[in-house]
Amino acid sequence: MATTSASGTEFSEGLNAGFETGGGELPPGLGPWRLAWRRLRRNKVALFFGGLFLLIVVVCLLAPVYSQDVAHLGPNTGNITGTVNVGGHAQNIVSLTGIPIGPTWHSQYFFGADTNGRDTAVRLLYGGRNSLEVGAIATVLTMVLALILGVAAGYFRGLADGLISRGLDVIWAYPAVLLGITLGTVIAVNGIGPIQANNLLVPAFVIGIVYIPYVAKPVRAQVLTLREREFIDAARQQGLSHAHIMFGELLPNLASTIIVFVPLILANAILLEAALSYLGVGVEPPAPSWGNMITTGLSTIPAAFSNVLVPGIMLVLTVMSINIFGDGLRDAFDPRAKVRIAH
């Protein structure tokens, strides 16, 4: 008898425990957003790199503070003939043979100077601001245009879909860098309407166009399935306008797709900006960007390799932290998502 009752208790205890763990893992009433946040919070690596990215953004936004209060040098303050006081004795900022000074680890010329005697650290922060700004504008442009095109193509189908999809195929067929330099050259010389040459908007505009198909195509595919669902039928029965259905009913259902794509496009936009600036059709000097700083640095290797290394490492760290955070975001929102982008 004793054994039976004991085993009975064990059994019921086990049962209760099972219910408890089941309830603990999936409490009722958690929406998809809360679920995604719970998954993301557990991913410490992604959170760390997300924090690193925020830190980089804040530091770059503080560029004017560093420039005025620490280095006392502007991003374009050249000083080819001057000297800087390092450890008690003066050193040439740019040597007589044209080699710029390396990192001094002091408030002035912390990371050294470039061939024009400009402070690399100051330019690094201003350049970061430009690179991030171009990336951000391009990302907004890509997302807005891709959403409009993708939603319209998927919602209207038929002729509109055919035209938009073929148009996307055309953009998609060009290798990103080749299309970027082509558009970059055309606009850099010509300017399009209010967008004039020597403006950050030029590379932002070019990059914004290049990445549209990579977002618009998956959005279209998703809208094609969404539009068959009952809530869209209901909206149509109510007599809502096309615009209302597309942006009031369909768009909110694309929220997780949008969130997953933003870091992906941002990372690639910053990389493409660097590539365009490297080829001379991105951010125009003297305005600094990480890409054109690397290009300037390449002209003095092997003597002053730090001028390539410093902006390059910042660029890689930034893009990498966006990518790793974005990967965590993707896992959190849709563990089975197949989001990808070609280079």
Partner 1 sequence: MTRFVIRRILAMLVVMIVISIVTFLLFEAIPNGNPAFRLAGRTATAAEIHQIEVKYGFDKPIFVQYARTMKNIFTGQAYSYTQGFNVLDEIRAGAPATLSLALGAGFIWLFISVVIGTVAAVRAGKYTDRVLTVLAMAGVSFPPFFLGAVLLYFLGYKAGIFPLEGYVKLTQNPVQWFMHLVLPWVTLSVLFIGFYSRVLRSNILDTANEDFVRAARAKGLSERQVLLRHILRNSLLPIISLWGLDLAQVIGGGAILTESVYNLHGIGQLAADSIGRLDIVPILVIVMLTAFAVVVLAAVIDILYAYLDPRIRLV
DSSP string covering 256-312, please?
Answer: HHHHHHHHHHHHHHHHHHHHHHHTTSSSPTTS--HHHHHHHHHTTTTTTTHHHHHHH
Report which DSSP code applies to 335: T
SS3 at position 208: helix
159 binds partner 1 (CB under 8 A): no
The answer to whether residue 30 forms part of the interface with partner 1 (CB under 8 A) is no
Which residues are 192's β-sheet partners? 195
C-beta closer to partner 1: residue 104 or 323: 323
The Cα–Cα gap between 244 and 232 comes to: 11
> How far apart are CB 89 and partner 1 at their closest, in Å?
29
- Token readout for 97 is 């043979």
Taking the C-alpha atoms of residue 132 and residue 129, their distance in angstroms, rounded to an integer, is 5
Q: Out of 181, 207, 212, 266, name the contact with partner 1 by CB under 8 A.
A: 181
Residue 105 binds to partner 1 (criterion: CB under 8 A): no
Nearest distance in Å: CB 8, partner 1: 36
Q: Is residue 262 within the footprint of partner 1 (CB under 8 A)?
A: no
CB 142 within 8 A of CB 205: no
Q: Buried b / exposed e across 13-42, counting CB within 10 Å, b at 16+?
A: eeeeeeeeeeeeeeeeeeeeeeebeebbee
Q: Which stretch binds partner 1 (CB under 8 A): 11-19, 107-115, 128-136, 309-317?
A: 309-317
247 binds partner 1 (CB under 8 A): no
Q: Which of 80, 86, 160, 279 binds partner 1 (CB under 8 A)?
A: 279
Distance in Å, CB of 45 to partner 1, minimum: 6
Pick the binder of partner 1 from 15, 65, 170, 255 (CB under 8 A).
170
Query: Per rule CB under 8 A, is residue 189 in the interface with partner 1?
Result: yes
In angstroms, give the least distance from the CB of 6 to partner 1. Answer: 38
228 binds partner 1 (CB under 8 A): no
Q: Give the number of residues in contact with partner 1, rule: CB under 8 A.
A: 49
Q: Which of 45, 55, 197, 255 binds partner 1 (CB under 8 A)?
A: 45
Nearest Cα residue to 130 out of 273, 4, 296 = 273
Centre a 10 Å sphere on the Cβ of residue 169 and count the other Cβ atoms it contains: 11
CA distance readout (Å), 227 to 101, 153, 157, 235, 253: 62, 11, 10, 10, 11
For 101, which DSSP code? P
Binding residues (CB under 8 A) for partner 1: these are: 45, 166-167, 169-170, 172-175, 177-179, 181-183, 185-186, 189-190, 267, 271, 274-275, 278-281, 291, 294, 298, 301-302, 305, 308-309, 312, 315-316, 319-320, 323-324, 327, 336-338, 340, 342-343
